[in-house]
Amino acid sequence: MGVTTGKRVRALSLATAVIWAVSACTLPTPTPLEPQENLVLELAPAKDTASEEPAPEPAEASPRDALEERIAVSIEQMDLRTKLAGLMVVTVGGMNPQVLRDFYERIPVAGFLLQRDNLVGDSFTIRDLISQVQGGSDFPLIMAVDQEGNPVVRISGDEFPGARLLGAGSLEDTAAAFLARQQLVDRAGANVNFGIVADVSGGPGAYIHSRSFATDATVVASHVAVATIAQVPEVAQTLKHFPGHGMVFADSHRTIPTADLTYDQWRTTHALPFIAGIDAGVELVMTGHIRVPAVSKDPASVSDDWISILREDLGFEGVIITDDLRMLQSSGEAAFQDPALNAVAALAAGNDVVLTAVDPGVDPDYETYDEILLALENVVAKGVISEEQVDLSLARVLRLRSGLGTP
């Protein structure tokens, strides 16, 4: 069912006890292996190697090497526009797979974020839609969903507890709920879940409170770690909203909230869940539209300072994706009213993928998407963003896509 090439390796040592507990309560007992016959080795007589030196056999390429070669060849064959389109995830509404296919044929994006009007019906109906969209590309398309659990549920049938309830309970319950949720996403045919809220809530008045595990950073970190490890191979998981929406109380869909924290204060609190998820092997981190003036004057989603912290201080090597860039426009700030310039700023800052739902309707706004691509091409031509940076981001994205499942 899933693509097996380039499977992601997990840092299982962080939660071995938890996974054992979850296995005991949620998974069938493995069938014992039949005893094997003793293996007898017959040694051939030693050869006189003084007069005969056999030529060494060429070493076989490892699967990892083969994947990297495949990625390099794919990138080499792309023109600049195709490369840049491969750094975009977009939203196209409706349940008509041909509309999404037509969009991809015109703009070969990395994939789609499926919203409520793409996810009508049960998991079998959604799976059928996705199966008709997948195919025709060298690597599986990203088919992403926001399936956090209550209150953010996109695919029906998710009756498992959400983070707010789980944070007050055991790590075993969190692991079981997130594993079951990932299995639901997999059954529906989606392959990326923007599903782990790593934000430490600032309290009941905070916008993110109902979606956060807790107000205690160490509690959140523990639950984030086991949620990250409780996985199915075909569905990549995402931490959000870096550097932490819990630092602010306002809703970043309506404004760009500002947090009054120093870097050191952040590093000892709101950073902890992201560190835990990264150490547990998470594949994606989503940057949020949050300002922390002590670190950067820009929102984190377009801040090279925050991307540098994520890469260098926290050691994240996976795919960095923005939160929906429409939210910057919705803030009303004059500097963020041009969707093309927002995409340029996001990639220039070091994000690998821009999530941009310019028009979530069933008739895609091709004109705006074309303007975004043209703006990106222009800044690469001018050297504002190097083609080398584009290639590095694209390699990370293709590496991720190579391990994603398809229906």
Q: Residues with catalytic annotation? A: 253, 323
Query: Given CA atoms 349, 355, 361, 365 in this order, what sign does their dihedral have?
Result: positive
Give residues with Cβ within 8 angstroms of 89, minimum separation 6: 109, 110, 111, 112, 113, 142, 144, 321, 353, 354, 355, 356
Angle between helices 171-187 and 16-26 in degrees, nearest 10: 70
218 Cβ contact list (under 8 Å, min separation 6): 272
- Strands (E) across 31-106 are located at 88-90
Tokens of 162: 């959400």
* Calpha distance 347→74 (Å, rounded): 21
The residues that bridge with 242 in the sheet, in sequence order, are 287
Beta strands across the sheet bearing 354-356:
319-322, 284-287, 236-242, 192-197, 142-145, 111-113, 88-90, 354-356
